Chains A and B, each alone.
Chain A
Amino acid sequence: MEILWFCILVFMLAMYIVLDVFDLGVGIIHRLIGRKEADRTLLIRTIGPVWDGNEVWLLAAGGTMYFAFPKLYASGFSGFYLPLIIVLWLLIMRGIGIEFRHQIQNSMWKSMWDSVFSFASILLSIFFGAALGNIIRGVPLNQEGYFFEPLWTTFTIVPEAGILDWYTVLMGLVALFTLATHGANYVAMKTECELQQRARDVVKKSWWGVMILSIVAAVATFSIRPDIGRNYHDYPWGYIFPLSGVVSLISMYLFTRRGKDTKAFVSSSIFIAGMLAGTAFGLFPNLLTASTDPDYSITIYNAAAHEYGLSVGIVWWIFGIVLTSGYFIYLYRTFRGKVNATPEEVGY
């Protein structure tokens, strides 16, 4: 049951990353490829009706983590207090950036919110990557299962490391490039003409960044956490996750070159999901590894809620996720197709 909920949690996080992150990615490249105000309006309109629903995956994943692994929720959220609070502020700024921008038809007003949206998206991407870096690197859990990390200390990997050290900053950059590429793929899929071309150019360039940084990050990960290969050694079928990631990274490049944007977007989604699942597979059964004493690590077994709660949870979870899939399919179908420049007064 614990393993099942671990998979569900990873699935929900992956859904959040794949879905919400294309609108994060759109934010990263927002000011880069949206050179004119009209371009940027179009970019916002590609995510306008869906970003809020996408962000609910974060809340739902948070809620799931809360009741399935309450100890992880308590320890992780209080330990990462400072960056999490900053993430909350960035999520607020980003949300109102999208929602308030179209309220006033004034170019300074719009330009301001474009910058807020873009700035918050860039920082959020780096923070999400750094968070993943912290989880892989491990945190200084005490005997009771709590910790607290300052924002940074010496930027080296020492027992009293902060949230940011060279490794987590590297992971932040991996995330920034990956999400920018993902967002650009989405834009290429949803727009036409010049904007589409610019988005494809971004993919072609940032793809190299993703590839090089991913290789560096993989080497770095194995050097600071050699034990991450243990599960792969014991259960070789797990290679399917990183392997599908690598394959889809290559196929993304090929599809983009041929102008097959939808397939490139799907590849980029699989790349992200594959890498995330691969990391989760390597960490299993640890949820939060202790850098102090391995016995203090928070695992799916010592953090899981009681059996009964997990069992009833699975019933309503399946029911709920079927309903949700229905809404999402309907929503995306209604707003499917290219977004074009015909102005819609009320719309994005």
Chain B
Amino acid sequence: MDALLIDRLQFAFTISFHYLFPQLTMGLALLIVIMKVLAIRKKSELYNNSARFWAKIFGINFAVGVVTGIPMEFQFGTNWARFSTFAGGIIGQTLAMEGIFAFFLESSFLGLFLFGEKKLGQVGHLISAILVFLGSWLSGYFIIATDAWMQHPVGYALSPDGAVHLTSFWQLLLNPWALSQYAHNMVGAVITGSFVMAAIGAYYILANRDIDFGKTFIRIGVIAGLTASILAVVPTGDFESRNVANHQGTKFAAMEGLFETKRGAELTLFGQPNVENLKLDNPIAIPRLLSFLTYLDWNAEVKGLDAFPREHWPDNIPLLFYSYHLMIILGIFFIIVMKTAAFYLWKKKLFEMRWLLWILLVSFPLPYIANTAGWMTAEVGRQPWLVYGLMRTTDGISPTVSASSGMFSLIGFIGIYILLGTLFLLLVIRQINRGPATNNLH
């Protein structure tokens, strides 16, 4: 394997593993704030104990998120040195701002939130929860703004030495790409948080223990989960895909599996991209729908891959196509599950319907898969560019780091992350078994 492939695999592996944790952090941060508000408004120990229980899981999850996050920032320098020389003056801005505005806030108040409830009092504790929420969501924004610049570079100019430099701070920070991607990503995080919460609630009811907690978790999880699942499609997902259609024609054509430009293009539900013969095998499609969804016109022309030079095509079209469609299918599934659960919750029958509780319980890994698939769509689809239209991925790697050094670190990361993942599961399962009832404040 050559160095380029190893560098890409290492980044892909470490970022995919890392993002399993922040998505729960960001989703739970919101739900914990909601619990804490309910606890104070209803003066309810049930909600307070729930918040404390989730804070424990949040703490474990946060720790793994922090330690796996550090390698992300450093890898820009270690494995992508040419890219860093080229664009560091711009994307370094948002990364440094993440540290200074988000991480300091988040880490300072997390310590207070986890260990300071007695010292702070209830309102102070709520405020620290809100600040942790704010910090984690801000951190998400700065990272999305960094990625958005790579997807859709704005506010820059080329320097004589071949690097790019910043010309507009506000364009970088308020990149329209970042705004739409952020909205879509954050509802994705809330979906993860909601499904995890509902799953643990369902577990308690099915296991016939901590029933009141189980019902509380399901109620919050289902209501938040339904809201977020709908928002993920309309308006955020819709907006996002139109953005891609307007600015990243190659990604759009490849993820939709559209090899030929046509008027009244069909929306493919599934199929198998055949890159050799440049067609989609065995498609199941709805005629003209893609044209309508993209341009609100049943006969609008949608550009296929043939409209672009081949060297600008993403280098792994099947992976891109399948990731995107997996995300879409899961997204539809989330709406169906949460709508059904919400309906029976409203009918006050949900807690007796064991089959539905079972579905809620076993569905919790799916949002993780959907979020990962969504990010794979975004990043595999950005290929062959590292910075869309400006720098190709092949030109971004470190000139002095050999494939064998890369292999050493990749294998090491895989080993350490397997260990981390195992420990994480062990500790979270332990907390779930101990249950939320043991969380009285002494």
Interface set of A (CB-CB < 8 Å, partner B): 48-50, 52-53, 55-56, 58-60, 62-68, 70-71, 73-79, 81-82, 84-85, 88-89, 91-93, 95-96, 99-100, 103-104, 144-148, 305-306, 308-309, 312-313, 316-317, 320-321, 323-324, 327-328, 330-331, 334-335, 344-348
A53 with B101: CB separation less than 8 A: no
A334, B79: Cα distance in complex, Å: 41
A344, B119: Cα distance in complex, Å: 12
A320 with B76: CB separation less than 8 A: no
A63, B166: Cα distance in complex, Å: 16
Set B89, B108, B400: member contacting A70, Cβ < 8 A: B89
Whether B147 sits at the interface, judged by CB under 8 Å, is: no
A85, B112: Cα distance in complex, Å: 31
Set A76, A81, A306: member contacting B401, Cβ < 8 A: A81
B74 with A88: CB separation less than 8 A: yes
A146 with B97: CB separation less than 8 A: no
B423 with A96: CB separation less than 8 A: yes
Chain A residues near B105: list those with CB within 8 A. 323, 327
Given contacts A66-B88, A309-B89, A309-B166, contact A85 B78 (CB under 8 A): yes
Number of interface residues of B (CB under 8 A): 71
B108 with A330: CB separation less than 8 A: yes
B165 with A60: CB separation less than 8 A: no
Closest B residue to A66 by CB, please name it.
B92
B420 with A96: CB separation less than 8 A: yes
* 7 closest residue pairs by CB, A with B: A70-B88, A67-B92, A77-B77, A63-B96, A306-B165, A305-B89, A66-B92
B67 with A91: CB separation less than 8 A: yes
Given contacts A331-B111, A334-B116, contact A77 B78 (CB under 8 A): yes
Whether B95 sits at the interface, judged by CB under 8 Å, is: yes
Chain B residues 358 to 377 lying within 8 A of chain A, measured CB to CB, are none
B108 with A327: CB separation less than 8 A: yes
Q: How far in angstroms is the closest Cβ of chain B from A231?
A: 27
Q: 1/0 contact trace for B97-124 toward A, CB 8 Å?
A: 1111101110111111011100110000
Chain A residues near B81: list those with CB within 8 A. 74-75, 77-78, 146
A321, B83: Cα distance in complex, Å: 28
Given contacts A49-B112, A50-B111, contact A73 B67 (CB under 8 A): no
Chain A residues near B115: list those with CB within 8 A. 48-49, 335, 344, 346-348
Chain B residues near A48: list those with CB within 8 A. 111, 115
A68, B112: Cα distance in complex, Å: 32
A61, B341: Cα distance in complex, Å: 47
A74 with B108: CB separation less than 8 A: no
A324, B90: Cα distance in complex, Å: 23
B97 with A84: CB separation less than 8 A: no
Q: 1/0 contact trace for B397-414 toward A, CB 8 Å?
A: 011111001001100100
Q: How far in angstroms is the closest Cβ of chain A from B267?
A: 42
Whether B167 sits at the interface, judged by CB under 8 Å, is: yes
A100 with B99: CB separation less than 8 A: no
B77 with A73: CB separation less than 8 A: yes
Chain A residues near B99: list those with CB within 8 A. 56, 59-60, 62-64
